[in-house]
Amino acid sequence: MVKLSRFLLQAALAGIAVAVIVALFFPGLLDQERNGAGAIPHASEPATGIQGPVSYASGVARAAPAVVNITTSRIVEVPHPLAGEQVPPGFFHEPPHSPADREQASLGSGVIMTSAGHVLTNHHVIEKAEAIAVVLANGDAHPAEIIGIDPDTDLAVLRIVAPGVTAASIGRSRDLRVGDVVLAIGNPFGVGQTVTQGIVSATGRTELGINLFEDFIQTDAAINPGNSGGALINALGELVGINTAIFTRSGGSHGIGFAIPVDLARDVMNEIIEHGRVARGWLGIEVQALDRALAESFGMDHTRGVLIAGILRDGPAARAGLQPGDVVVRLDGQQVDNTRGALNIIARKRPGHDIAIDARRDGELIHLEATVDIRPI
């Protein structure tokens, strides 16, 4: 009996020792037993590839010195308040129809693009300006000269003489993806440099009626009046776009803003600096969009392509053999979906280079080659 009691005591002590060891060194085994085989597993640690920064301050600090405020002024004529009214002769020193001059000022933003002081902004920011000043992030103001403009993309290049300016770090807008974090830096409503944050809502936006040549980045980062010409940057502080416009019915931001991709803006700037203007391809054609009825009349079961409505005599298209009534379906190997897309493909072609044209004529597919000319201003 004593031996049996001693055996049971030893077994109990061994069981306790095993339980202590498991509890100390293998607590997961107890959790599994407690939860049962059908228990929901603990969430795994998030993948490091999708973790974002806690703060974007480093990126903003990298980009902010290159973002400037732009002030413009011009003299406008204001009609006399009694213009057109009958007043006694000699009642005024000047006749009531004489206009008065008044200085009109406006604000915008810009981005320093080179260490030589070239500043990129929107054309509409400096349009009709008689005096332009660029205010740096440190508060210093410098007069600016206009190097060139490109109204078709709403871009303008200025230059200031200011030693030691900080140029923006340029990113690649073609690498942007929907959902990427972006920040807008500018001078909204003249309150001073301001940063707003959002994501890329869409890329390649066209048919907005803002510019002749459109390829916008859409973002929900707040862009307000005064932000025009400012920087759209990624989380690393690299410039990816030039803020241009907002969709609004009230004058304020509704989370739909548009920026010109930096890849396009940089090409325009380089053309202006090197040649004084942007040289775009031109074929001398008038195009018309296809609707369902027109497409069916040409034996087509879709509306992709553009109808040649007119051709300039002796122009590049006429010399290539294109005719009114032809339906262009491909240009330079790219499918043509609409009129704006067709014009963009032609405009991107360097003057003097050949462009392939695939068109439908009388139900047959034809292939032509045209040498593009420079687009008239």
pLDDT tens-place string over residues 241-256? 999 977 655 555 567 8
Q: What are phi and psi of 88, to 5 degrees?
A: -60, 140
**What's the confidence (pLDDT) of residue 315?**
93
The residue with greater pLDDT, 95 or 314, is: 314
Query: What does pTM read for this prediction?
Result: 0.71
Q: Is the pLDDT of residue 142 over 90?
A: yes
Q: What one-character-per-residue DSSP string does 218-281 give?
A: EE-S---TT-TT-EEEETTS-EEEEEEEE--SSSS--S-EEEEEHHHHHHHHHHHHHHSS---E
Band of pLDDT at residue 35, cut at 50, 70 and 90: very low
Our answer to whether residue 228 is catalytic in this structure is: yes
Give me the mean pLDDT over the 81-106 stretch: 58
**What's the confidence (pLDDT) of residue 339?**
84
**Cα angle value 268/272/278 (rounded, 5°):** 60
Q: Is the pLDDT of residue 170 over 50?
A: yes
Give me the mean pLDDT over the 297-308 stretch: 85
- Strands 327-331 and 334-335, how do they pair? antiparallel
**What's the confidence (pLDDT) of residue 64?**
95
185-239 pLDDT per residue, tens: 998 888 889 999 999 999 988 777 677 777 889 999 988 888 899 999 999 999 9
Q: Is the pLDDT of residue 112 over 80?
A: yes
What residues have CB less than 8 Å from 182, skipping those under 6 apart?
176, 197, 198, 199, 200, 217, 219, 221, 232, 233, 234, 235, 240, 241
Percentage of the residues of the chain whose pLDDT score is greater than 70: 76
Give dist(CA 342, CA 363) in Å, integer: 21
- Give how far Cα 103 sits from Cα of 71, 76, 100, 106, 129, Å: 13, 6, 10, 10, 11
SS3 call for 99: coil
Give dist(CA 228, CA 210) in Å, integer: 13
Task: Say if residues 256 and 184 touch (Cβ distance below 8 Å).
Answer: no
Annotated active-site residue in 106, 124, 152, 253: 124
Annotated active-site residue in 228, 253, 358, 373: 228
Give dist(CA 213, CA 260) in Å, integer: 10
Find residue 141's DSSP bridge partners. Answer: 135
187-199 pLDDT per residue, tens: 888 888 999 999 9
**Cα angle value 266/267/273 (rounded, 5°):** 85
Annotated active-site residue in 106, 109, 142, 154: 154
Find residue 159's DSSP bridge partners. Answer: 118, 145
Our answer to whether residue 154 is catalytic in this structure is: yes
Band of pLDDT at residue 32, cut at 50, 70 and 90: very low
81-95, 97-111, 318-332: which has the minimum mean pLDDT? Answer: 81-95
- Torsion of the alpha carbons at 136, 140, 144 and 148, rounded to the nearest 10: -10
Give dist(CA 327, CA 306) in Å, integer: 6
